[in-house]
Amino acid sequence: MDTKELKQAFEKTYGKQPQAIYFAPGRVNLIGEHTDYNGGYVFPCALSFGTYLLLAENNDNKLRFQSLNISEKVEVSINDIRPLPNRCWANYPLGCIAQYINRGFQLIKGYDMLFWGNVPAGAGLSSSAAIEVATACAFNDVFGAGYDKTELAKIGQLSEHEYAGVNCGIMDQFASAQGKKDHAIFLNCQTLEFQLVPVKLEGIKVVIANTHSPHKLDSGTYNDRVKESREALAKKDYTNPRARHFISEVKRTTDAVEALQKGDIATFGRLMNQSHVSLRDDYEVTGPELDAMAEAAWKIDGVIGSRMTGGGFGGCTVSLVKDEAIPTFIEQVGKEYKAKTGLTAEFYVAEIGDGVKRV
């Protein structure tokens, strides 16, 4: 949908024009997985697909959440902001608004909101972070708070912790907020210092493969990994496989970025493959579908590197593939994946886009 169609949809839903439109992207992480919540390095980039938020104030002191992707409509009084039951989708935006209230801003009006996103749902490409960052940005303007993009990312992360119950790191929201076209973000999750590194690669594309696996990383398993790795690191138990993954992944990430900056793409790819193996064996967040997808990719000539991306279990792999090998990649990986799992994979050639903005 383009913004004209979205405006029409808003008018149809609320019987008035939207006052503002925001866009925040999803993300794909190239390397540095399951390190953010322990203060490691990550290297994600924002995608060209994401979530739009259109909004207008109302005179009835209600926050109204509607989505063109989800049928459930939600209405909340501005004087009764708290987490919604049953893992309701509106917790993502509501939790961001709540962060402003916690910081002393006052809602004196209600708002009618309409969301629409084109991030494939459940693919681990951060559709929820996109909703959060779009909302955080919109209410930054509503309240005239003047927060920078890093602060918007923190607001999104806190919404995830307090309203969605996922103790996630900062990576997804940070990428959605600070992304830049044709760049990846080398982020130190301890200090939040970051560097934008160009990833416009001569003759090579970033290809995302969606497993469409029913096994999702649920908040329980994710929070377990957060706890297990934190405990092992606090005890300095570096033989513990969770801690070992963290240490080795941080090293791989810094080495990979260094290699990329030197133009040594082959080393970057090797480190991506090693990252997958570590996530499979030490961190145990891959599962048969992601393993089948990565293993199929590793066999193809012209694949520089391939690994799972995001939280894991289901979701997507990310691969660097030479232009001329992309058709074979899609055909062969799709075929082998189907034969091994019975599932149909879907492929996207990633376009690396900008972070959140008012449209």
**34 counts as binding ligand GLA under rule CB under 6 A:** yes
**172 counts as binding ligand GLA under rule CB under 6 A:** yes
Of the pair 112, 172, the CB lying nearest ligand GLA is at 172
Catalytic residue, chosen from 172, 255, 281, 282, is: 172
| CA-closest candidate to residue 358, choices 194, 140, 62 | 140
Alpha carbon distance 57, 51 (integer Å): 20
Give the SS3 label for residue 180: coil
Of the pair 9, 285, the CB lying nearest ligand GLA is at 285
> Could you tell me which stretch among 32-40, 84-92, 110-118, 261-269 binds ligand GLA (CB under 6 A)?
32-40
**132 counts as binding ligand GLA under rule CB under 6 A:** no
Give the SS3 label for residue 46: strand
Work out which of 78, 98, 171, 308 binds ligand GLA, going by CB under 6 A: 171
Give the SS3 label for residue 268: helix
**Least distance (Å) from ligand GLA to the CB of residue 149?**
17
Give me the phi and psi of 32, to 5 degrees please: 100, 65
Work out which of 36, 282, 289, 336 binds ligand GLA, going by CB under 6 A: 36
Query: Does 172 qualify as catalytic in the annotation?
Result: yes
| C-alpha dihedral, 289 to 295 to 297 to 303, nearest 10° | 140
Work out which of 10, 14, 22, 37 binds ligand GLA, going by CB under 6 A: 37
**44 counts as binding ligand GLA under rule CB under 6 A:** no
> Could you tell me which stretch among 28-36, 299-307, 340-348, 349-357 binds ligand GLA (CB under 6 A)?
28-36
Of the pair 18, 179, the CB lying nearest ligand GLA is at 179
**169 counts as binding ligand GLA under rule CB under 6 A:** yes
Q: How long is the chain?
A: 359
**Least distance (Å) from ligand GLA to the CB of residue 112?**
29
Give the SS3 label for residue 11: helix
Tokens of 207: 């290809």
> Could you tell me which stretch among 3-11, 90-98, 112-120, 164-172 binds ligand GLA (CB under 6 A)?
164-172
Of the pair 218, 331, the CB lying nearest ligand GLA is at 218
**287 counts as binding ligand GLA under rule CB under 6 A:** no
Of the pair 37, 163, the CB lying nearest ligand GLA is at 37
**311 counts as binding ligand GLA under rule CB under 6 A:** yes
Of the pair 117, 310, the CB lying nearest ligand GLA is at 310
Give me the phi and psi of 115, to 5 degrees please: -110, 145
Of the CA atoms within 13 Å of residue 240, those in its CB half-sphere come to 16
Of the pair 134, 171, the CB lying nearest ligand GLA is at 171
- The C-alpha angle 76, 1, 348, rounded to 5 degrees, equals 105
**Least distance (Å) from ligand GLA to the CB of residue 330?**
25
Encoded amino acid at 241, one letter: P
**Least distance (Å) from ligand GLA to the CB of residue 54?**
25
| C-alpha dihedral, 83 to 85 to 90 to 92, nearest 10° | 50
| CA-closest candidate to residue 313, choices 229, 211, 245 | 211
* Sheet containing 110-117, strands listed edge to edge, beginning at the edge strand earlier in sequence: 74-77, 62-67, 110-117, 44-58, 20-29, 357-358
Alpha carbon distance 137, 152 (integer Å): 6
**310 counts as binding ligand GLA under rule CB under 6 A:** yes
**33 counts as binding ligand GLA under rule CB under 6 A:** yes
Q: Are 187 and 171 in contact (CB under 8 A)?
A: yes
- Chain positions contacting ligand GLA, by CB under 6 A: 33-34, 36-37, 168-169, 171-172, 310-311
Catalytic machinery residues: 172
